[in-house]
Amino acid sequence: MKKYTNTGSKDTRSGFGDGLTELGKTNPNVVALCADLTGSLKMNAFKDNHPERFFQIGIAEANMIGIAAGMTIGGKIPFTGTFANFSTGRVYDQIRQSVAYSDKNVKICASHAGITLGEDGATHQILEDIGLMKMLPGMTVINTCDYNQTKAATLAIADHHGPVYLRFGRPKVANFTPADQKFEIGKAVQLTEGTDVTIIATGHLVWEALQAAETLEAAGISAEVINIHTIKPLDEEAILASVAKTGCVVTAEEHNFLGGLGESVSRTLAVHHPTPQEFVATQDTFGESGTPAQLMEKYGLNAAAIVKAAEKVIGRK
């Protein structure tokens, strides 16, 4: 099995910040809007280099989404930045009417997604955002796995015309994908080849899935790991090709099992190739305060949980 190396843990939000900084230099139409969380979203460099294209909106997320929608009229490409909770649930109707239904070229960039925001607790965490965004017609939904991929995705979505939800996190996670990768929206990345089980993961659980695959290999189980960075549109072809070989699936995500990646995968399988599936995800619950590692452990979002799910799903074949 191909091994992956952590080349140095970094936060995915810095991938966004660095991607945005690069866009500032290369794409004069890119503008950035922030709702009083410039530092948290790592938007400082863009702000410092391009003050005329940086818009501090204040603690007013609904207004930020509306302004972003309006700024597309005249050719700007707005990137909004705030926490995932305030990027989605708080402004769902604004995104629905002014962005998605109006087909505006707005990039909603959301940090601190999931429970690994940690100590701030459930008010600031969100485990429903993938579901909220993927239900909107025309919305592209991306959840990146590490720093390099987040940077690549940030660059890629500027060239994609249409509304995009880009989701990333707060803590430092393993950085293992290539720095020079080509990010193709909607194209899954197969990381390992296997024959016994397919592990489909998104976000930083992709790294956990790779760790799980190594553990499984040691136990004589061959796991195929697929990185689904784009939840919508979903790369159904890659998923179906893999399950045709393995016959069972584990999905892994830092999101509620309702509405997330797992549900998208199960729909694809139900329609095209009914297959046993286990869900590594939160079980319809809010989060709580704690360190990211504690929360990952308590809510079953780590390599150990993926191993357990794989063993279980293989037994259901």
Partner 1 sequence: MSDNKSLENLVTQVRRDILRMVHKVNSGHPGGSLGCAEFLVTLYNDIMKLNDGFDMDGKNEDVFFLSNGHISPVIYSVLARRGYFPVDELNTFRLLDSRLQGHPTTHEGLPGIRIASGSLGQGMSVALGAALTKKLNGDDNLVYSLHGDGELQEGQNWEAIMYAAGNKVDNIIATIDYNQKQIDGATDDVLPLGSLSAKFEAFGWEVLEIKDGNNIQAIKDGMAAAKAKTGHGKPVVVLLHTEMGNGVDFMMNTHAWHGKAPNDEQLESALAQNPVTLGDY
Judged by CB under 8 A, does residue 63 bind partner 1?
yes
Residue closer to partner 1 by CB (options 59, 271) is 59
CB 44, min distance to partner 1, A: 19
Between 71 and 238, CB nearer to partner 1: 71
Query: Pick from 8, 39, 51, 58: which binds partner 1 (CB under 8 A)?
Result: 58
CB crowding 73-103: b at 16 or more within 10 Å, else e? eeebbbbbbbbbbbbbebbbebbbebbbeee
Site of tokens 């530092």: 39
Q: Which of 37, 62, 240, 258 binds partner 1 (CB under 8 A)?
A: 62
Pick from 30, 31, 157, 296: which binds partner 1 (CB under 8 A)? 31
Look up tokens 């990039």; give the residue.
107
The nearest distance, CB 55 to partner 1, in angstroms, is 7
- Under a CB-based contact definition with an 8 Å cutoff, are residues 55 and 75 in contact? no
Residues of span 254-273 touching partner 1 by CB under 8 A: none
Nearest CA-CA partner of 102 in 93, 111, 110: 93
Check binding of 220 to partner 1 (CB under 8 A).
no
Biggest alpha carbon distance in the chain?
59
Binder among 14, 87, 88, 98 for partner 1 (CB under 8 A): 98
Please, which residue, 47 or 53, has the CB nearer to partner 1? 53
Give 77's contacts (C-beta < 8 A, 6+ positions apart).
27, 29, 30, 31, 105, 107, 158
Identity of the residue, 9 or 102, whose beta carbon is nearer to partner 1 in the bound complex = 102
Q: Which is nearer to partner 1, 57 or 127 (CB)?
A: 57
User: Of these, 3, 51, 73, 119, which contacts partner 1 (CB under 8 A)?
Assistant: 73
Distance between CA atoms of 287 and 124, rounded to whole angstroms?
Answer: 9
Residue 20 sits in the site that holds partner 1 (CB under 8 A): no
**3, exposed or middle or buried, with CB in 10 Å at 0-12, 13-18, 19+?**
exposed
Least Cα distance to 13 among 122, 124, 109, 115 occurs for 109
Smallest gap from Cβ 103 to partner 1, in A, equals 6
What does the DSSP assignment read for 204-229?
THHHHHHHHHHHHHHTT--EEEEE--
Q: Please indicate whether residue 208 is annotated as part of the active site.
A: no
Binding window for partner 1 (CB under 8 A); candidates: 97-105, 194-202, 207-215, 233-241: 97-105
Q: Does 102 bind partner 1 (CB under 8 A)?
A: yes
CB under 8 A: which stretch of 16-24, 53-61, 184-192, 279-287 binds partner 1? 53-61
From 110, 74, 76, 112, select the one nearest 95 (Cα to Cα). 110
- 53 in contact with partner 1 (CB under 8 A): yes
The Cβ of residue 53 has, within 10 Å, a number of other Cβ atoms equal to 18
- Position 66 contacts partner 1 (CB under 8 A): yes
CA distances for 48 relative to 13, 32, 42, 77, 312, angstroms: 18, 12, 11, 18, 51
- Residue 135 lies near partner 1 (rule: CB under 8 A): no
Task: Decide if residue 70 touches partner 1 (CB under 8 A).
Answer: yes
User: Active-site residue numbers?
Assistant: 61
- Which residues bind to partner 1, rule: CB under 8 A? 31, 52-53, 55, 57-58, 60, 62-76, 78, 93-94, 96-98, 101-104
